[in-house]
A and B are shown apart, each in its own frame.
Chain A
């Protein structure tokens, strides 16, 4: 399949690139080089996630409680369903990709166009879902309190159900507003303020006797520890410091901030791969329509971009396991 390059006069010579080492063409071989190195990059990220998780093994968030949302189904707890859907979308787009490669081998231009089209749509749905998942995670749902030591305290009622801070926080009128760049010291703004101050949450908590605190430490069954009412009050009075809503790189209402950091970094890096994969697919898609590969009498380019696309799917299989399942 040397159709992509002009003849260089080195055909058959060992050191001129004319040979096909291991019977793979130059382009495919280079794609495999890239895939191996990228696989090592991703394993570096996932292994460092494992490192941090083992470091805080008794206080790591339970993924089932973090990712419980499905679009258009508000308030319905549905752990994992949406991620499972995303996984299937990505696997399915891999299938259409490999069908495009197969059609390319048979020089069926029409089929290649359609299969490439479905692959691009699948990739776009995946990236969109990823963005939605990020937005939901950043927004948060119940809110929590962070202690002076940076640990997270969440709220439950006596039946063991999670309670949102908005449901019990007392409203204390205050003059305090967000400090903006334009006021006072130049260019010194403060981050977005949470919808309730710590004083308001504390007052609300003390006024409601049926509220309990749950720490991020896991008991022997792997569930976060729930404190008694007396312990809860003591914890809030002595250790509580600020209100956390949602997750960002510094604070994370679901538990350890490192969980959020790795989530953003690894799924972000993967999402970036999917995004660039979609862009590359679109370029190849137009090339197919224009008949570029018909003229070359070879659809090897589709095969190479296919390798990349399957690799992105492969990485997701691992991210899915280590972020959502294990």
Chain B
């Protein structure tokens, strides 16, 4: 394998001169994202914890999205997913994404259901 790297991130918005500068650039970006998460986690602005979007606090959506952003750059630039073939990329990423989404969906719905039963009484579906 020749070691040419794709040096663009943010869809070509930022282009680095060498692989080393790209690594430091991605590191700086990850630090900024982590700092934002920590600051939000300490302040917990009322405007973000009070409002909900799709049954979850907006603040929690922000945390989860920022986490996925970090995961993307770790996988793409540190694990060199960006330089792999599209087929390898997809077989790794989509396998995980589908299975994990399914698992989370089932378990969270089930957990919420048990919470309701504990709270409201012992018969939920009284047909």
Contacts and interface: CB of A to CB of B under 8 A. Distances in A.
Asked if A pairs with B, the answer is yes
A318 to B, nearest CB: 6
B47 interface: no
A233 to B, nearest CB: 27
Contacts of A56: 115
Nearest to B56: A326
Tell me the interface secondary structure of chain B in the complex. Answer: helix
Interface residues of A, number: 55
B19 A54 contact: no
Given A36-B92, A40-B99, A80-B42, A22 B85 contact: yes
Contact of B41 (A35, A43, A64, A95): A64
Contact of A311 (B19, B31, B66, B79): B79
B16 interface: no
B48 interface: no
B108 to A, nearest CB: 5
Given A321-B64, A326-B63, A99 B23 contact: yes
B73 to A, nearest CB: 10
B93 to A, nearest CB: 9
Interface string A41-59: 0011001101111111110
Contact of B20 (A43, A44, A99): A99
Contact of A32 (B37, B63, B71, B88): B88
Contacts of A189: none
A47 to B, nearest CB: 5
Interface residues of B, number: 51
Contact of A310 (B74, B99, B108): B74
B111 A80 contact: no
Interface stretch (A83-91, A141-149, A176-184, A283-291): A83-91
B49 A48 contact: no
Given A22-B85, A36-B92, A326 B74 contact: no
A313 to B, nearest CB: 6
Contacts of B92: 32, 35-36
B84 A22 contact: yes
B85 to A, nearest CB: 5
A36 B85 contact: no
Given A23-B1, A314-B71, A50 B20 contact: no
A46 B27 CA distance: 26
B34 A87 contact: yes
A50 B41 CA distance: 19
A95 B24 contact: yes
B6 to A, nearest CB: 14
Given A80-B41, A310-B78, A310-B79, A36 B111 contact: no
30 contacts: A22-B87, A23-B85, A23-B88, A24-B85, A24-B88, A32-B92, A35-B92, A43-B103, A43-B104, A54-B111, A55-B111, A57-B112, A57-B115, A64-B41, A80-B38, A84-B34, A84-B35, A84-B38, A91-B27, A91-B31, A95-B23, A95-B27, A98-B23, A98-B77, A306-B78, A317-B67, A321-B37, A321-B64, A325-B37, A326-B63
The 5 closest A-B pairs by CB, nearest first: A54-B111, A22-B88, A51-B111, A51-B107, A321-B67
